[in-house]
Amino acid sequence: MTTAKVLWGSRFRSGPSPELMNLSRSDASHFRLAPYDLAASLSHTRELVRAGLLTEVEGERIETSLTAIGADIAAGTLRPSDADEDVHTFLERALMERLGVLGGKLRAGRSRNDQAANDLKLYLRDKGRRIALDLLALQEALASQAGQHMNTLAPGFTHLQPAQPVSFAHQLLAHAQSFARDIERMRDWDRRAARSPLGAAALAGSAIAKQPELSALELGYDGPCENSIDAVGSRDHVAEFLFVTAMLGVNLSRLAEEIFLWSSRQFRWIELDDAYATGSSIMPQKKNADIAELTRGRAARLVGGLGTMLTALKGLPFAYNRDLAEDKRAAFEAVDTLGAVLPAMAGMVRTMRVDTEELRRQATDGFTLATEVADWLARRGVPFSEAHEITGGLVRYCEDRGIGLEDLTEADLAAVDARLDASIKSCLTPEAAIMARNAYGGTAPERITEQIVRLRSLFDSQREWAMHYDGPRT
């Protein structure tokens, strides 16, 4: 049976109460940090050899034992006990059980304060890249669908009301552009997070570990933190990571909301693959977009985690405080949530089937070609304010007669305004409408082709960043 051990008890006359340990002990999820703590311990071992606190032989023995501990944890043969207060206690206990007093030498020159900050930072830099790769799979699904539907006409909406015809590819790529910025935000966050807290110790720096720049480079950082108090007392990198994931959650929720609409019987734009939909326990006919619904719900967790972290930081004096332990709870929730949501969303988008005929039929519903009339008049010198009034009158004329703009005769046009003639009919098709919008960023197929090429180039750059990382990975 493992004896309860803490790393701070020698000053006290009695051991910690069960109530204190129950509150103080890390949640079981926190022990996922063990591989990152072990990586830092290997680097710290080399630092202690450089400082002369360990001989070369002692350093090699500790490194061998740490490597073996990591292998045993990965194999599931070594686990934390209920007596282990946190991951640092667990790993020191395991090391001392194997090496005796030699294992206790590793604690010199460092603190749980810089260890805790470092472990989570390494974890987030690793998992940020995993999130990016999962998001790129969704991006590829969107880009692939877009490539198949550059000429698929669809109604574009504002205020959830029919507005103008667009290519369905353009609608899909609007989401892809948002997600591309999410990955760029993660990359930008990582650049600021690439400073190592190791060597800060409790808050004042270490009198033993005097070459933190070497440990920093070994662990994939750009260098050590500039200020030891800031190194252990700041969690803005966690808050910023949580903002990135919260923004991603919001963008995922917006795509989810559109998928609800597109797959509804009222829209009938897409059909979800059976493998990515669910049914009802009482209504046999139902086919529900549950992945989208769960995604929308879990976005709330991501937004909530950011609020939790900012609130925890708000009133803290500037050094380490136990309040900062909330960083792990919020960060793990974000990583776990996206780890479940992103692959499911990617599969749903990749396998959905688009009803191109239904989209084409709806592309002109609600007088979506009205702007073409106003533009046609403006190109002929009619002030746009007047062109707008004429077009509004034309729409009323059609509504009164139960016809569409495409059904207007030459006599109908002249009855509304003498400046409207039959030549306008060539503009009153959805094909003409999207082809006319061929400026950079527009919905014309030629511009969509260029947009996909640029996006795929960005995807390659983002994938390169995510896959090639010098820090510890799990």
At residue 8, does pLDDT exceed 70?
A: no
Active site residue 280: yes
At residue 3, does pLDDT exceed 50?
A: no
Q: Taking residues 94-113, what's their average pLDDT?
A: 96
pLDDT score for 16: 80
pLDDT score for 82: 87
Place of tokens 């690793």: 126
With a pLDDT cut of 70, the percent of the chain lying above it is: 98
Q: Which amino acid is at 153?
A: L
* Phi and psi torsions of 269, nearest 5°: -80, -40
Q: Taking residues 77-95, what's their average pLDDT?
A: 94
Q: Which are the contacts of 97, defined by CB distance < 8 A and separation ≥ 6? A: 103
Span 322-355, pLDDT tens digits: 889 899 999 999 999 999 999 999 999 999 999 9
At residue 219, does pLDDT exceed 90?
A: yes
Q: Taking residues 204-211, what's their average pLDDT?
A: 96
Residue 48's nearest CA partner among 194, 212, 196 is 212
Span 150-187, pLDDT tens digits: 999 999 999 999 999 999 999 999 999 999 999 999 99
Span 131-147, pLDDT tens digits: 999 999 999 999 999 99
Given 10, 159, 281, 468, the catalytic residue: 159
Span 284-335, pLDDT tens digits: 888 999 999 999 999 999 999 999 999 999 989 988 888 898 999 999 999 9
pLDDT score for 25: 78
Cβ(204)–Cβ(111) under 8 Å?
no
Q: Taking residues 217-228, what's their average pLDDT?
A: 98
Three-state SS annotation for the chain: CCCCECCCHHHCCCCCCHHHHHHHCCCHHHHHHHHHHHHHHHHHHHHHHHHCCCCHHHHHHHHHHHHHHHHHHHHCCCCCCCCECCHHHHHHHHHHHHHCHHHHHHHCCCCHHHHHHHHHHHHHHHHHHHHHHHHHHHHHHHHHHHHHCCCCEEEEEECCEEEEEEEHHHHHHHHHHHHHHHHHHHHHHHHHHCEECCCCCCCCCCCCCCCHHHHHHHCCCCEECCCHHHHHHCCHHHHHHHHHHHHHHHHHHHHHHHHHHHHCCCCCCEECCHHHCECCCCCCCCCECHHHHHHHHHHHHHHHHHHHHHHHHCCCCCCCCHHHHHHHHHHHHHHHHHHHHHHHHHHHHHHCEECHHHHHHHCCCCCCCHHHHHHHHHHCCCCHHHHHHHHHHHHHHHHHHCCCHHHCCHHHHHHHCCCCCHHHHHHCCHHHHHHHCCCCCCCCHHHHHHHHHHHHHHHHHHHHHHHCCCCCCC
With a pLDDT cut of 90, the percent of the chain lying above it is: 90
Given 17, 29, 264, 280, the catalytic residue: 280
pLDDT score for 9: 65
Longest dimension (CA), the chain: 101
Q: Taking residues 25-29, what's their average pLDDT?
A: 84
Q: Taking residues 232-258, what's their average pLDDT?
A: 97
Q: Which domains does the chain have, with CATH numbers?
A: 17-108 (1.10.275.10), 113-203+226-362+451-467 (1.20.200.10), 370-428 (1.10.40.30)
pTM assigned to the model? 0.93
pLDDT score for 1: 39
Q: Taking residues 398-420, what's their average pLDDT?
A: 95
At residue 68, does pLDDT exceed 60?
A: yes
Q: Taking residues 460-472, what's their average pLDDT?
A: 97
At residue 2, does pLDDT exceed 50?
A: no
